[in-house]
């Protein structure tokens, strides 16, 4: 479990740093006053792109603290270790995620 917590913490720090770097790059790149509104819009969009991932990571850390990590939110079965190694913030097992993806199409 400790390895998952460490990995989630690394992912969280990466997501926050990525947001900051991308926002700074967008704002630095758009010094022209004519493009200032476009730069602000693009910077806000860049931040919003990473927020769900950061939120997922923080929710996974919260699930660990309350003992619900690695349990599927739909069927409450244990999420496979292999899936968590690939996607440590996963909230659904492969079967439930596949079902949800099929319904969403």
The pLDDT score that the predictor gives to residue 71 is 96
The pLDDT score that the predictor gives to residue 100 is 92
Mean pLDDT of 25-32: 59
The least confident of 2-6, 18-22, 29-33, 82-86 is: 29-33
Q: With a cut of 90, say whether residue 96 has pLDDT above it.
A: yes
Report the percentage of the chain scoring pLDDT > 70: 70
Mean pLDDT of 35-50: 48
DSSP letter assigned to residue 80: P
Matching residue, tokens 């349990």: 71
To the question of pTM greater than 0.75 for the whole model, the response is no
The pLDDT score that the predictor gives to residue 50 is 39
Sign of the CA dihedral with 84 first, then 89, 12, and 67 last? negative
> What are the residues facing 78 on neighbouring strands?
71
pLDDT category, 54, cuts 50, 70, 90?
Answer: confident
């Amino acid at each position: 479990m400790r390895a998952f917590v460490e990995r989630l913490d690394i992912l969280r720090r990466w997501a926050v740093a990525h947001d900051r770097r991308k926002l700074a790059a967008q704002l630095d790149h758009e010094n022209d006053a004519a493009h200032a509104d476009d730069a602000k819009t693009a910077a806000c969009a860049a931040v919003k792109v990473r927020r769900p991932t950061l939120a997922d990571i923080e929710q996974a850390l919260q699930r660990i603290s309350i003992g619900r990590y690695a349990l599927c939110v739909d069927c409450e079965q244990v999420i496979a270790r292999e899936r968590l190694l690939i996607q440590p913030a996963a909230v659904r097992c492969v079967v439930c995620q596949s079902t949800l993806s099929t319904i969403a199409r």
